[in-house]
Structure 1
Amino acid sequence: MHTTTRDKLIDSMIDALQRKGLHGIGLSKLLASADLPKGCLYHHFPGGKTDLAVAAIEQVAERVQQAFTNLFHRHPEPLEALAQWLQNSMTQLQDSDFELGCPLATIALESGPQDQAIRAALARAFATIRQVLEDQLQRHGYAQAAGLASLFVALYEGGLLQARVAGDGAPLHQAVTTLIQLTRQRPEAKSA
């Protein structure tokens, strides 16, 4: 598959967000990592770094949605799929020497009220991720599927953040194990 200039820019931004955050990388370094001249950024993203960040957030949400589709296909039981998702994330973080975090989390932590386009894109991305999880949990009869989906996303983001800072996956592993055990206790209970 041919990678377009736009795709290269988005991929470089996603990598930068995972490693350094939005404000941790300058445009020159971002363009150098994509091996592209400065003019192509503004050709594809007239709003500059903000437009590129929004496109990267949207791409991450799309990729996560596709990853969940594939994961739930391979592991039809939602808790097994979610455990695998969290394990894959932890493996990626450990393999990167605790450098590669979640690109959505890093930009969310940096954004302020003035970053309306970025915050709107983040809100849509997190809503998409929660909805995919909720649909799977609901399909399998889990009570409070929306709440569980939100809890898994919060556990993922908070656990990865703690693991990244500590350089140790124990907090995420412990939280995942506990949440899955608690959820398995009554998966058939329907919410009122």
Structure 2
Amino acid sequence: MDTKSMIIDITTTLFQQKGYKGVGVNEILKVCNISKGSFYHHFPNGKEEALIACLQSMSDAVTSDIEDIFNRYPTTQEATKKMIEKVIGIFEREGTITSCTFISIVSEMGSLSDPVRKTCEDLYLKMQRIYSTKLVADGFSKETANSIAVMMNASIEGGIMICLTEKTSEPLKIISRLLPNLLKKG
């Protein structure tokens, strides 16, 4: 793995665990075992540029995983249930779900810059497009599918945050039981 990828991987984990504000450049340098010059060689604009790289890396991983699941199952209902069950499994195995969401990083959104906000917006829109495309294939109008996709994103992301807060997978289990029923064409 090259140095920049290593920095992104380690920094992503730090941001997920402590939030953007909770991680300083010196901590990144120490944990990555690199010099300040090496960090700024890869991220000349500093920590915020590293954050954007982390979010883009997470975006690729998260959306690829969602696309894979949604391509494997014939309906949005089945795909959604399987996706949430996968997240529950990760939580129950690891005691956290930070690898499946970037909400722990962006919870400080109000204080972050427009480029960071835009990067996060792009990820949410990618996820919503995956959901919406599947919903249209299930027979929903494009307008209804887009609205349901926003609700799905909000439910799942909110459920992840509640799981992390309560240290239990029960909120996602409830969403896994109820959300697919709301996705029936009727």
Same structural fold, with TM-score higher than 0.5 when normalized by the shorter chain: yes
Task: Tell me how far 1:135 sits from its aligned partner.
Answer: 1.1
Which residue identity is paired with 1:96?
Answer: E
Distance in 2 separating the partners of 1:26 and 1:126: 26
**Aligned residue among 125, 130, 133 for 2:131:** 133
Which residue of structure 1 lines up, in the alignment, with residue 66 of structure 2? 68
TM-score by length of 1: 0.85
What aligned pairs does 1:1-192 form with structure 2 within 5 A after superposition? Answer: 3-98=1-96, 100=98, 102-113=100-111, 115-143=113-141, 144-184=144-184, 187=185, 189=186
Count how many residue pairs are aligned between Structure 1 and Structure 2: 184
Task: Tell me how far 1:19 sits from its aligned partner.
Answer: 1.6
Contact 1:134 1:145 in 2 (8 A): yes
Mean CA deviation greater in 100-109 or 13-22: 100-109
**Partner SS for 1:112:** helix
Mean CA deviation greater in 30-39 or 144-153: 30-39
Mean CA deviation greater in 119-128 or 88-97: 88-97
**Partner SS for 2:102:** helix
The C-alpha deviation readout for 1:39-59, integer Å capped at 9, x for no partner, is 222111111110010111111
Task: Tell me how far 1:25 sits from its aligned partner.
Answer: 2.1
Distance in 2 separating the partners of 1:105 and 1:88: 18
Where structure 2 has 5 or more consecutive residues not aligned to the other structure, the ranges are none
| Greater percentage in helix | 2
Distance in 1 separating the partners of 2:88 and 2:125: 22
Name the Cα RMSD after superposition: 2.0
Distance in 2 separating the partners of 1:133 and 1:13: 29
Task: Tell me how far 1:162 sits from its aligned partner.
Answer: 0.7
Task: Tell me how far 1:124 sits from its aligned partner.
Answer: 1.2
Contact 1:19 1:99 in 2 (8 A): no
Distance in 2 separating the partners of 1:107 and 1:65: 17
The C-alpha deviation readout for 1:102-122, integer Å capped at 9, x for no partner, is 552122211225522211111
Which residue identity is paired with 1:84?
Answer: K
Which residue identity is paired with 2:84?
Answer: L
Contact 2:20 2:106 in 1 (8 A): no
Identity %: 23
Mean CA deviation greater in 128-137 or 91-100: 91-100
Change (3 A) 1:141 1:56: same
Distance in 2 separating the partners of 1:109 and 1:17: 11
Contact 2:80 2:176 in 1 (8 A): no
